[in-house]
Structure 1
Amino acid sequence: MLGATALSALTPLEAFARAAQIKSIAPAYHRLMLGAYEIVALSDGTVKIPLNTLYNHTTPDHIDKVLSGVFQSSPSEASVNAYLVNTGDRLVLIDAGTGTYLGPTLGKLIGNIQAAGYQPEQIDDVLLTHIHTDHSGGLIADGKRAFPNALLHVNKRDVDYWLNPLHAKAAPDTKKGLYREAIEAINPYIDAGKLRTFADNAEPIPGFKTILRTGHTPGHSSVVLESQGRKLVIWGDITHGDIVQFDEPGIAIAFDEDSEKAIISRQAAFSEAANEGYLVAGAHISFPGIGHVRRDSSNYDWVPLNYSSIL
């Protein structure tokens, strides 16, 4: 029979069972190399959105069924991703997150840039895929430029659309906020002489080509990076999520300015990515949002990049 001292040595200390739960997550960034380029996926956070009512050309019951098949429901957790590219010569941010516009679960971009080892002042260029608030709101902090040394590059179609006061005046009340937020976010760069517009399918920064994928917004553009034989296309909002629209590209979303054109752009983006086999990064695909597109028996499939701790 064991003595009392021996028994006490075998009994777990009560304090270990009562450790406080931490209830916080690690900084959300993921680093990988694309040839000679360092790519850092950055999370601005996540937000729950009712995909069953936001998707159109479908029914809420159908979306609920598809989501339940992958253990999800609506509202669904949507990622808001941005991408930082260090070419060795320039530090370029693709999209700028939400800033303070869309609630406390978002607006994490600056903190994650810093956690990844960089400072906002180091960024040479910000290149927007388009001027929706979840991509442009983070351009400002307290009304000032969050990236004070950066040039801001935006497709001219989007600048003409979102910064036109006549468009804002004519917009329905449900959309007036988008115009106001666009003006608030971009005007500080205009005032500082830092805004540069680019044409369709242009190369606004050396090594950063664009593809006009209109529909989601008039100037919505994907960004193409190539280095040492490897290719990454940063999609912007070709999809919202990584489930429904890959099997059914004809399903659009309420955020599209022109759903029919957005569907055409999505089908073209899917086909090209599957044909060429290059890496893709999506702004609203589950963080870090990087992977491949393949064809399958039901249309297309999203294949997340295999995690690697080796650069």
Structure 2
Amino acid sequence: MDRRRFLSLAPAAAAASATATLPALAAAPFAGSAPPGFYRMKLGDYELTVLLDGTVPVPLTTLYNNTSPERVEEGLAAAFLRSPVDLSVNAFLVNTGERLVLVDAGTGTLLGPTLGRLPSALKASGYSPDQIDDVVLTHVHTDHSGGLVVDGEQVFPNATVHAHRRDIDYWLSEANRAEAPADKKELFEGAVASLEPYRKAGRLVPFDDNAEPVPGFRTVFRPGHTPGHSAVVVESRGEKLVLWGDITHGDVIQFDEPGVGIAFDEDTPAAVATRALAFAEAADERYLVGGAHIRFPGLGHVRRDDKGYDWVPLNYSLPG
């Protein structure tokens, strides 16, 4: 064999030898779980941390109304989704440098094993529950207030909880609970379990329409989804963030068709009207939006398109 022939065959022979003698290194067990989810960014002089409470499969084809299942399926398929869709449950933590304010509190143990991750996400982000000064609720549904209490104990032992007076009056009413259909009674029971410990401790404080429950945190009354449903507005050094609560469930169908409601709405016509106002304002003013059920971290902007509106997720970046 001449030198040229030897050199042409040597790499193949070496590769074959290595393949034959090296053991497989990829036989590790599946990890099976994901780490706690949080996303951090600056908002003017403030620090914003989005906390992922988890995700939950939601059968949007059956829960959306003012539309048809076929139309929903078509819209989801165009976005490479199908029902049930895993919706995020997001909460938003704002550090002003003077106060640590949490907007919405997740689900706790009330809605299944894929949720209730907010405390672990909070700790992973560098904070602890006892550091929270205030919790501002966009509304008193279980996926926003259930995380206030776990096993009867207050999760945020030093926090004052702020909720709209209309929601407090509605969800803590024994008469309303008695009159509610069977499939809705759990919402009332969850509200009592989550809010009563704070009320008994003197740390449940109601706010009214378009109020400022915490200095620098302004609310905008956005009724329909619940009687007191409110957005929370945070501004610092000219940067504005509007935390929507449940203006939408998902980021596909209701942006193309704002008239589509969902079964969770207490008053669907009012919720539809509220959504139209929220979309138009966000598109006109071009501020940053945070959505509780928009895919994590739920931050982005709203723009108009030829179908109606479009959700534009915030470009991902790491804080300096």
Q: TM-score, normalised by structure 1?
A: 0.97
Structure 1 residue 18 displacement after superposition: 1.5
Pairing 1:258–2:272 present: no
SS in 1 for 2:301: strand
What amino acid does structure 2 have at the position aligned with 1:234?
A: L
Distance 1:305 1:12, change over 3 A: farther
In 2, Cα distance between equivalents of 1:286 and 1:4: 50
Matches of residues 1-311 of structure 1 in structure 2 within 5 Å?
Answer: 8-9=17-18, 13-311=22-320
Structure 1 residue 231 displacement after superposition: 0.1
SS in 2 for 1:15: coil
Query: Per-residue displacement from partner, 1:179-226 (whole Å, max 9, x unpaired)?
Result: 011001100001111000001000000000000000000000000000
Structure 1 residue 26 displacement after superposition: 2.8
SS in 2 for 1:294: strand
SS in 2 for 1:26: coil
Distance 1:12 1:83, change over 3 A: farther
Structure 1 residue 161 displacement after superposition: 0.4
Structure 1 residue 33 displacement after superposition: 0.5
Structure 1 residue 114 displacement after superposition: 0.2
Gaps of 5+ in 1: none
In 2, Cα distance between equivalents of 1:6 and 1:160: 74
SS in 2 for 1:67: helix
Structure 1 residue 21 displacement after superposition: 2.4
Gaps of 5+ in 2: 1-8
In 1, Cα distance between equivalents of 2:282 and 2:138: 18
What amino acid does structure 2 have at the position aligned with 1:122?
A: Q
In 2, Cα distance between equivalents of 1:27 and 1:180: 28
In 2, Cα distance between equivalents of 1:281 and 1:6: 53
Q: How many residues align?
A: 311
Cα pair 2:38 2:52 within 8 Å, conserved: yes
Query: Per-residue displacement from partner, 1:76-131 (whole Å, max 9, x unpaired)?
Result: 11100000000000000000000001100000000000000000000000000000
In 2, Cα distance between equivalents of 1:50 and 1:234: 24
Q: TM-score, normalised by structure 2?
A: 0.94
In 1, Cα distance between equivalents of 2:121 and 2:296: 13
Structure 1 residue 17 displacement after superposition: 3.0
Structure 1 residue 24 displacement after superposition: 2.3
What amino acid does structure 1 have at the position aligned with 2:39?
A: H
Q: Quick check: 7-16 or 112-121, which moved more?
A: 7-16
What amino acid does structure 2 have at the position aligned with 1:102?
A: L
In 2, Cα distance between equivalents of 1:305 and 1:5: 49
Structure 1 residue 148 displacement after superposition: 0.3
Rg larger for: 2
Structure 1 residue 23 displacement after superposition: 2.5
Structure 1 residue 255 displacement after superposition: 0.1
Structure 1 residue 309 displacement after superposition: 1.1
Structure 1 residue 15 displacement after superposition: 3.4
In 1, Cα distance between equivalents of 2:155 and 2:297: 23
Q: Quick check: 264-273 or 20-29, which moved more?
A: 20-29
Structure 1 residue 9 displacement after superposition: 4.2
